[in-house]
Chain A
Amino acid sequence: MPTQVAGNPPSKIAVRLTGVSKSFGGVRALDDVSIEVRVGEIHALLGENGAGKSTILKILNGVHAPTAGRIEVFGAELTEHTPEAAKRAGIGMIFQEMSLVPTLTTAQNIFLNNEIKGSTCFIDDSAAQRRARELFETLGVDIDPKAEVGALSAGQRQLTEIVKAISRNVRILILDEPTTALSGGDVEKLFAFLRTLKSEGVAIIYVSHRMDEITRIADRATILRDGKHVVTAPMSELTLDRIIEHIVGRRSRGFSDVKRLAASRGAPLLDLRGLSGPRKPRAIDLTLYAGEVVGVAGLLGSGRSALARVLFGIDPKRSGEIRIKGAPVEIKSPKDAIANGIALVPEDRLRQGLILEHSVESNTSLSILDRLASRFFVSSARASEAADRQIETLRIKTGSRDAPVRTLSGGNQQKVVIGKWLNAEPDIFVLDEPTGGVDIGSKAEIITLVRDLAARGKAVLVISSELPELLTAADRIVVMTDGRIVSESARKEFDDPNPGDDVGEQLQYAERKLSSIIQKAHAHV
């Protein structure tokens, strides 16, 4: 395809987005973004979580249609926005091992649903193997066409996946965090392969949080922030500091109105010593005190949720020690964690936190069934009382305590999860992304709740990807990368040494400072 269009200057552009916007409900995920990706380049897409990268990928991939704007592929406008149309236009996205069948060989996978047939109408496996071998050879990939995919390494599977896309005439290849599951050697092989593809005229869009990889492999980069295009430039013009500066930017979000009750730090409640999980977290040393909120910052996959899972007995502990009020404890199941006074408001509210079809009352009483029961029978009067208490104190907006939680808004659902644990009266609260999928007004309300927990003498650990929220909630912030805690600072260390009057601006200052710590920590892994 590139040869057909050679000599036609505008078509040196593989993909051109012009003024593309996308709104979900009232939220603008992308705002008037224009990007050009050239034939034969590796184009990095950079930005924080929620900056709009994945929205762009989904629009290119045909999963979402843009609300406004124009998309051209090799000079032709893309009018239909479906995955099929994207495929026809030559756009292919590589998912993490998603499209390979582990029980088939690499050759069978490459030609899956596109099988080579012999003169009879039967599948010709040996022809498929020959073709696959040719493909692997021209692309310089060392994989046996007869090997079963299940027996391959993560890196080999990744390469097979890409070869499969290329064999189907993909000329624009999208890679989203392709190296997360790869070993160092496999990363090298992937990069060598990507360079080969580039020289064949394939346009590659590369999304990664790993700055070291970006600086090595990318030719140009586009940086997005809050759904807007910030800059597109050759990598040679972008230093690491400039990239981080562009990624972090200046922002304002509405947390300035959260009232921070002064909580005084009390006795140590939870003490982690060298705590390690199955893969993550690694060697965590951390102490939580009564009346204090500790925030955990870090990028996706940095091991924050894994830490919560080990603490709550969902993932097994590998090594290290958990001490509660000075005494070592063994936490082997959520039941043990609850018995030791730990509560977890989990990351995935809908799956892990709630039984959606069940009522508010049934959900809020789940954590305290034994306490609601006298001998064998659950007292429904006490269950109703416990539900009403939380509906009232947390101001949960619901038709009644009998309404299924499915019918509540995201913010109110989250309050039900928090109410469930308030009923159990734990000493230690772990909240994983407590405001995920919650509208901005309720976000501030939930953060206020978190502060109240500390004011009531609980030890609170808040994990969040939203930095303003973390800075508003926490007294102390730790940053995690690759399963480890790499920095720990008191909240006031993020304050502007020469503060202005504007509370919003002070928060922005702190946010920039925290964000650059996170980005730098990640770049040096």
Chain B
Amino acid sequence: MSDAVVKSSAPPFIANWRQYIPYLGFVLIFAFFSATLYNQGFLEPNNQLNILRQTAMISIMAVGMTYVLSAGEIDLSIGMVAGLISCVVAVAMDHYGAVGGVVAGLFVGGLVGLANALLTTRVGIPSFLTTLAMMGIARGTAMWMTQTKSVPILDDNFIWLFGGGNLGPIPVLVIWTLVIAVVGHVVLRRTTFGRRVLATGGSEIAARYSGIDTRGIKMRVLIISSLGAAIAGMLYAGRLHSGRFQLGEGDELSVIAAAVLGGTSLFGGAGSVVGSIVGSLMIGVINNGLLLMGLEYSQQLIARGVIIIVAVAISQSRK
């Protein structure tokens, strides 16, 4: 082995210090709220578990978004798809039971993803537009099929498994997040598929010249993203015991912010599932902290917007 390679093992950790900015940011924000909101119970285990529960859906969708962004595409339809799937599950469950509901939810989620994928890669509509249009279609379908009413879910097993339950002290929602995050991380980092996703987003032309089926990769990430949104939709449904078209509204913004905060590039080629989860938790902590500070909803919206812009600006400055 040449000496050029041997001397290399030390520098990267320090050289790539910027990649740790998201984690540092999370720690700083967490420390800030811990100090200022100590008396409001910010650090109470219950409050902490609550943050984890509230961010589970964002985290899960952020895993899918990490794949989409890494491949150089975007998926704006996820929030509305989550809402649609909560309705599909609730309605299907009425007729075919819990298993039928879950199958229907995943099926419709996969179908939406396939539509996004085909329109983007075969017809050639940019994913930004495809998924923007799909947003409206998903929302409209959800409103139509439920007559804009909330559809109650009564199946206790479903409610336990998708949102309501606890395994010992740990909420099931946290387990869902953990499992999906670990699988997402390993697949992106360790499999040929993950490498191909990053290569496609890094330079589609170079990836194609290297023999990668970039169209196939883009199709798959869009389907993954929709399936992630479908699972998030089921968790919303389980947690709130009902399917409602409003669920997941505006989540696409939080999810994209979470991924970018976590170091995933909006321009493709670089992505980190762990980073996205941290980004999502950061958003959860901010929401919770602002609430405990006693800010009104209007003020919360403003403060959250400013904090996200600052954090993303810092994480983008590494370029």
Interface residues in chain A, defined as those with a beta carbon under 8 Å from any beta carbon in chain B = 312, 314, 333-335, 337-339, 344, 346, 351-358, 362, 365-367, 369-370, 372-373, 376-378, 380, 388, 391-392, 395-403, 420
Q: Cβ of B304 < 8 Å from any Cβ of A?
A: no
Which residues of chain B are within 8 angstroms of A355 by Cβ–Cβ distance?
199, 202-203, 206-207, 269
Which residues of chain A are within 8 angstroms of B205 by Cβ–Cβ distance?
351-352
CA distance A334 to B204 in the complex (A): 13
Q: Which of A333, A335, A400 contacts B11 (CB 8 A)?
A: A400
- Is B198 within 8 A of A400, CB to CB? no
- Is A358 within 8 A of B198, CB to CB? yes
Which residues of chain A are within 8 angstroms of B2 by Cβ–Cβ distance?
388, 391-392, 395
- SS class, residues of chain B in contact with chain A: helix
How many whole Å from A142's CB to the nearest CB in chain B?
A: 37
How many whole Å from B184's CB to the nearest CB in chain A?
A: 14
- Is A357 within 8 A of B211, CB to CB? no
| 17 A-B pairs with C-beta separation under 8 A | A312-B209, A314-B209, A334-B208, A335-B213, A339-B211, A344-B209, A346-B209, A354-B203, A354-B206, A355-B199, A366-B206, A369-B196, A370-B192, A372-B192, A376-B190, A392-B5, A400-B7
- Is A337 within 8 A of B211, CB to CB? yes
- Is B211 within 8 A of A378, CB to CB? no
- Is B8 within 8 A of A373, CB to CB? no
CA distance A396 to B8 in the complex (A): 13
- Is A401 within 8 A of B211, CB to CB? no
Interface size on B, residues (CB 8 A): 33
CA distance A395 to B7 in the complex (A): 15
> B265 — nearest CB in chain A belongs to which residue?
A357
> A375 — nearest CB in chain B belongs to which residue?
B191
CA distance A356 to B268 in the complex (A): 12
How many whole Å from A422's CB to the nearest CB in chain B?
A: 13
- Is B196 within 8 A of A391, CB to CB? no
- Is B206 within 8 A of A353, CB to CB? yes
- Is A366 within 8 A of B269, CB to CB? no
> B6 — nearest CB in chain A belongs to which residue?
A400
| A355-B203, A366-B195, A373-B191 given; A338·B211 CB < 8 A | yes
How many whole Å from A396's CB to the nearest CB in chain B?
A: 8
| Max chain B Cβ within 10 angstroms of own Cβ: one of A334, A339, A380, A392 | A334
> B206 — nearest CB in chain A belongs to which residue?
A355
| Max chain B Cβ within 10 angstroms of own Cβ: one of A312, A376, A392 | A376
How many whole Å from B121's CB to the nearest CB in chain A?
A: 14
CA distance A333 to B207 in the complex (A): 12
Which residues of chain A are within 8 angstroms of B4 by Cβ–Cβ distance?
391, 396-400
> A396 — nearest CB in chain B belongs to which residue?
B4
Which residues of chain B are within 8 angstroms of A392 by Cβ–Cβ distance?
1-2, 5
Interface residues in chain B, defined as those with a beta carbon under 8 Å from any beta carbon in chain A = 1-2, 4-5, 7-9, 11-12, 186-187, 190-196, 198-199, 202-203, 205-213, 269-270
- Is A378 within 8 A of B191, CB to CB? yes
How many whole Å from B98's CB to the nearest CB in chain A?
A: 31
Q: Which of B8, B192, B209, B213 contacts A399 (CB 8 A)?
A: B8
CA distance A401 to B194 in the complex (A): 19
Interchain residue pairs A-B with the least CB separation, the first 4 = A400-B8, A355-B202, A338-B211, A369-B192
Which residues of chain B are within 8 angstroms of A398 by Cβ–Cβ distance?
4
- Is A376 within 8 A of B5, CB to CB? no
- Is A314 within 8 A of B208, CB to CB? yes
CA distance A402 to B208 in the complex (A): 22
CA distance A98 to B74 in the complex (A): 31
How many whole Å from A365's CB to the nearest CB in chain B?
A: 7
CA distance A388 to B190 in the complex (A): 19
Which residues of chain B are within 8 angstroms of A402 by Cβ–Cβ distance?
8, 12
CA distance A204 to B208 in the complex (A): 43
Q: Which of B11, B209, B270 contacts A357 (CB 8 A)?
A: B270
CA distance A357 to B263 in the complex (A): 14
Which residues of chain A are within 8 angstroms of B207 by Cβ–Cβ distance?
355, 366
CA distance A312 to B205 in the complex (A): 13
CA distance A344 to B205 in the complex (A): 13
How many whole Å from A376's CB to the nearest CB in chain B?
A: 5
How many whole Å from A230's CB to the nearest CB in chain B?
A: 39
| Max chain B Cβ within 10 angstroms of own Cβ: one of A333, A396, A399, A400 | A400
Q: Which of B1, B193, B195 contacts A388 (CB 8 A)?
A: B1
Which residues of chain B are within 8 angstroms of A352 by Cβ–Cβ distance?
205-206, 209
Apart from A334-B209, A355-B199, A355-B207: 4 A-B pairs, beta carbons within 8 A? A335-B213, A351-B206, A370-B192, A399-B4
Which residues of chain A are within 8 angstroms of B12 by Cβ–Cβ distance?
400, 402
> B7 — nearest CB in chain A belongs to which residue?
A400
Which residues of chain A are within 8 angstroms of B8 by Cβ–Cβ distance?
399-403
CA distance A201 to B8 in the complex (A): 65
Which residues of chain B are within 8 angstroms of A396 by Cβ–Cβ distance?
4
How many whole Å from B137's CB to the nearest CB in chain A?
A: 30
| A357-B202, A378-B195 given; A333·B190 CB < 8 A | no
> B192 — nearest CB in chain A belongs to which residue?
A369
Which residues of chain B are within 8 angstroms of A312 by Cβ–Cβ distance?
209
Which residues of chain A are within 8 angstroms of B195 by Cβ–Cβ distance?
362, 365-366, 369, 378
CA distance A410 to B101 in the complex (A): 57
| A351-B205, A391-B4 given; A377·B190 CB < 8 A | yes
- Is B210 within 8 A of A367, CB to CB? yes
CA distance A400 to B206 in the complex (A): 22
Which residues of chain A are within 8 angstroms of B192 by Cβ–Cβ distance?
369-370, 372-373, 376, 378
- Is B208 within 8 A of A357, CB to CB? no
| A334-B210, A373-B191, A378-B191 given; A401·B5 CB < 8 A | yes
Which residues of chain B are within 8 angstroms of A401 by Cβ–Cβ distance?
5, 8
Which residues of chain B are within 8 angstroms of A369 by Cβ–Cβ distance?
192, 195-196
CA distance A351 to B205 in the complex (A): 7
CA distance A22 to B9 in the complex (A): 43
| Max chain A Cβ within 10 angstroms of own Cβ: one of B7, B8, B190 | B8
Which residues of chain B are within 8 angstroms of A356 by Cβ–Cβ distance?
202-203
CA distance A314 to B208 in the complex (A): 9
CA distance A356 to B186 in the complex (A): 24
CA distance A358 to B200 in the complex (A): 11
CA distance A416 to B6 in the complex (A): 18
How many whole Å from B205's CB to the nearest CB in chain A?
A: 5
CA distance A117 to B11 in the complex (A): 63
| A369-B195, A392-B5, A397-B4 given; A420·B11 CB < 8 A | no
CA distance A378 to B189 in the complex (A): 9
Which residues of chain A are within 8 angstroms of B211 by Cβ–Cβ distance?
333-335, 337-339, 367
CA distance A355 to B203 in the complex (A): 5
Q: Which of A333, A358, A376 contacts B199 (CB 8 A)?
A: A358
Which residues of chain B are within 8 angstroms of A344 by Cβ–Cβ distance?
209
How many whole Å from B134's CB to the nearest CB in chain A?
A: 28
| A355-B202, A367-B210 given; A400·B9 CB < 8 A | yes
How many whole Å from A222's CB to the nearest CB in chain B?
A: 38
CA distance A351 to B203 in the complex (A): 7
How many whole Å from B194's CB to the nearest CB in chain A?
A: 8
CA distance A338 to B208 in the complex (A): 11
CA distance A378 to B190 in the complex (A): 5
CA distance A337 to B205 in the complex (A): 16
Which residues of chain A are within 8 angstroms of B190 by Cβ–Cβ distance?
376-378, 380
Which residues of chain A are within 8 angstroms of B199 by Cβ–Cβ distance?
355, 358, 362, 366
Which residues of chain B are within 8 angstroms of A380 by Cβ–Cβ distance?
190
Which residues of chain A are within 8 angstroms of B196 by Cβ–Cβ distance?
369
